[in-house]
Structure formats: C-alpha cells, structure tokens
Structure 1
Amino acid sequence: MVVPSEQFLSRANLFMQSIVDWEQQLADLKWQDLAGMAQAGRMAVFSIDMINGFCHKGALSSPRVEGIIPAVVDVFQHAHAAGVREFILAQDAHTPESIEFTQFPPHCQIGTEEAENIPELAGLPFANLYQIIPKNSLNAFQGTALDGWLKKQTELQAVIVVGDCTDLCVYQTAMHLKLYANAYNLPLRVIVPANAVQTYDTPVATAQELGIYAHDGDVMHLFFLHHMSLNGIEVVRAIK
C-alpha cells in the first residue's frame, strides 16, 4: 500500500487552495453579450438530467441538485427571451438491466416518474421546444441521436450546459462538445455557469458505514469545474 507522504499532502493542499482561489475569481457572463448568437439561431442550451430522480425523489435524488433548479429555470427563461430555440434535454432513461446499476443504485428507469422532467421545467410556456434525448450512459452522446444532431449544427457558435452532476454527466457532455469542436477546428463556445450545475455528496463517514465510495460534493464540484476550464470550457459564475 502506498502511503502519501507529507510532502504530497502539502502539495495537494496548496493545489486545492489554488482552485478555491480560482473559483472565487469567476466572473459573470452577461446575456446581452450572447444576444447576437441567440437571435441568429446559433446558440443551444443543454440540460443534463434535470429530472425527478435527481431532484425530487428516488435513490439518487439530492438536495444539492434540487437547489440549482431556480438557476436552471433562469437560464432557460433568459435564453428563450434572448432568442434561443434549441433546448436539448439529455435525461437518464435506464432499462431494468442497465449495467450502470452495478455502480449506482437503480434509478430513473424508463416509464417511471423518476425519469420525467422536473415540473419546474415542464411547466415553462415554451416546453414544446424541448428535444428530449433519453440516455443509458453518463455520456449523452453514447447510443443517442446527439452525434447526428451535432454534425448538422454547422452554424452553432455557443452551447450553454446546465444540470447534474458536475463531475459526471455534465462533465462528459461539456467535454464531448469541446473536444468535437477542437477536432474540427470549430469556434464553438461551451459555457458552464457554475451556479446552474451541481453534484451529490457522500461524506467519508457515510461511505465507510455503507461500504461504498466517498464522494465529497464540494471538492468534486470545484475540481471538475476547474478541469473543464483547463480544457477550454468557459466556466462562469452565472449568466445575468
């Protein structure tokens, strides 16, 4: 067993402090600066897993994720007001035999209330614009129609990504979009407002008691925001 040295732990603490400092300096983005792209039909909003099973009920529902609902709704409303008409909602819709259930408790199965849109989004007056993308993977582009959709968006200039979880499905989606743009030298802005994404929390003591992996929500949220920024994704505090 490799035991981290004091030097390693000291470096790790310095590194984490640098990420905390980075987060504290995040700036807001203004809707008025995005209006031109929105009005020209060159912007899309991706909502990841904002469904009942992660917000309101079920084994993986989390008060942390539920807490971002107002910010997500705000993004939807302001985006629509700015002229956005592409709303992509990638959502877990697992089959009972999903392999993912060996890693996480059964959740958000096809045809259940857990797999449905949260009412806060479903009730918006422009919900008819939503393109629902059922997914059986953390990566919304695996086994779905999204790759085909993306290849057709030759005029797309910006994508705003909101939802959960910061270090899982949000990360996979934002990185896929950014790496696709990099591969084809496309000037696509991938924007993640930090106030409209979140992840779950499993404290070390709880994990030890249950015999599962610990997952510090604050650390993982912050670390993966930083990692997305490191890869050229625009992480902002909020869009106002």
Structure 2
Amino acid sequence: MAKLKPETMDTLARTSLSELQRPHVFVVDMINGFIKEGALSDSYIMHITNPIQDLVKQAHATTFICDSHNLDAKEFDAYPIHCIKDTSESEVIDELQPLVKRLIHKNSTNTFMAKEFQDQLPDLLSQFDDFVLVGCCTDICILHFALSLQTFINEHNLSDKRVIVPMNMVETYDIPEVHSRDKANQTACELMINNGIQVVVME
C-alpha cells in the first residue's frame, strides 16, 4: 500500500468492487522489469500483488498493461533502457500471469496514448463506467494514465464515468536521495485528488 500522510489517509473513502458501476480494472505494469529484474525494478512493489490478485479474481473485466519498448525508444532519452519488447522484463510477473485475459502494450509511460488502448476506447466507454487503475508506478504510469483518462472524461462531459485509484493497490520505487517513495506517492495522490480522480481504499 502506498504510504501517505495520516491526514490524507483519513480523507480517503473506502469502497469495494461490488459498490462500483460497471467497473473495468486496469493492472498497470506489474511486470518483471519493474519488480524483479532490470534497471528500473524495485522488489518492494511486490507487496501489492496479493490485493491486486484478490481484486482481479473478483472483477468481470480486466486488462493488464505491459511496458514494451524497442531498443531505439524515445523514452530512453529520459529513462534507462528497460522492458524491451519480447524479453522477460516486459512480461507480467508469474504471480499474476494466470489471471491475464487481455493485454495492452505501451511504448511510453502513458497507457492512454497507446494505440491498442485508443483502438479499444470506444468499446470501453460503451460497456463500462468506473475505470479502476492499480499497479505501478503511482507517480508515473498510474498518474499519467489517470490524469489523461480523467481529462478525456471532462472534455467530453461524460458525467457517468469515473477514474478510481485504490491507494492500497498502487506503489512506486525508491532511490535514496533521488526518488523518495513516500514523497512520490503523496504528491501523486494529491495531484489525482485535485484533478477529480476518485482516490480510495479498496476493501
């Protein structure tokens, strides 16, 4: 669970999948390259696996998102080489692999921009109302996807649609003196709340 300031945690609503309206769960980047191996992996993220497993088992509709790059990816101007296409780094971790029914691959930090997602967006909007984002990293791939999806909803006045981020099912990495896990989680949480995203604790 992403660690937040106590005063922030106290404001988060508690909900369950059964209380949501036509939910679709997106499991973002729970892949080897961010948890088990490679330049951007952090094994600490593994602790959100069990609650994600439980959520996915309850859900009728789920999509797993996998970072997947070619060696010449533009993103590598900003990040170390990671999650190369057709390598183990770009694969869903073994613990969640049996639950994968649908996959989307992305070549940037933002799932919303991926062609596979854009191609599916009209169907997603017609079939689902609540879009639940779980996985990693809270302040990068979760945040970018959540903000873009919420902005799209706002632009088109889709009043029956919601973006929901359970803070007990997202996490980010920690690099001492470079990237503070706790600070990144707190900042991302505040940004999402301030932009109309439903930040919750999912029971």
Name the TM-score, length of structure 2 as normaliser.
Answer: 0.90
Provide, for residues 172-203 of structure 1, a one-character-per-residue CA deviation record: whole Å limited to 9, x for no partner: 11112111111111121111100110111111
Counterpart among 101, 104, 109 of residue 138 in structure 1? 109
Equivalent-residue separation in structure 2 for 1:148 and 1:112 (angstroms): 25
Distance 1:156 1:123, change over 3 A: closer
Q: Matched residue pairs, number?
A: 198
Report % sequence identity.
35
CA distance in 2, matches of 1:64, 1:173: 22
Give me the CA root mean square deviation. Answer: 1.7
**1:111 and 2:86 aligned:** yes
Aligned pairs for 1:56-95 within 5 A: 56-79=36-59, 84-85=60-61, 87-95=62-70
Measured after TM superposition, the shift of residue 142 of structure 1 is 2.0
Correspondent of 2:14 among 5, 20, 28: 28
C-alpha distance in 2, partners of 1:21/1:100?
Answer: 36
CA distance in 1, matches of 2:103, 2:64: 5
CA separation in 1, counterparts of 2:168 and 2:200? Answer: 8
After superposition, give the CA deviation of every residue in 1:28-87 in whole Å (9 maximum; x if it has no partner): 2123312xx3xxxx32111111111111111111123122111211211122xxxx22x2
Post-superposition shift, 1:19? 5.7
CA contact (8 A) 2:29 2:135 kept: yes
Aligned-partner Cα distance in 1 for 2:115–2:39? 25
1:203 maps to a residue whose letter is P
- Aligned AA for 1:101? F
Q: Per-residue displacement from partner, 1:150-175 (whole Å, max 9, x unpaired)?
A: 12322421011001111111011111
Q: For the residues of structure 1 that align with 2:38 and 2:83, how far apart are their CA atoms?
A: 8
> What amino acid does structure 1 have at the position aligned with 2:52?
V
How do 1:145-184 residues align onto structure 2 when only pairs under 5 Å count?
145-152=116-123, 153-184=125-156
Distance 2:68 2:136 in 1: 15
Mean Cα deviation higher: 138-147 or 165-174: 138-147
TM-score (structure 1 length as normaliser): 0.77
The one-letter code sitting in structure 2 at the alignment partner of 1:139 is N
Partner of 1:14: none
Q: Which has the higher contact order (CA 8 A, sep 6+)?
A: 2
SS at match of 2:34: helix
Moved more, 193-202 or 134-143: 134-143
Equivalent residue for 1:202, pick from 175, 180, 187: 175
| 1:225 partner amino acid | C
Which residue of the partner structure matches residue 193 of structure 2? 229
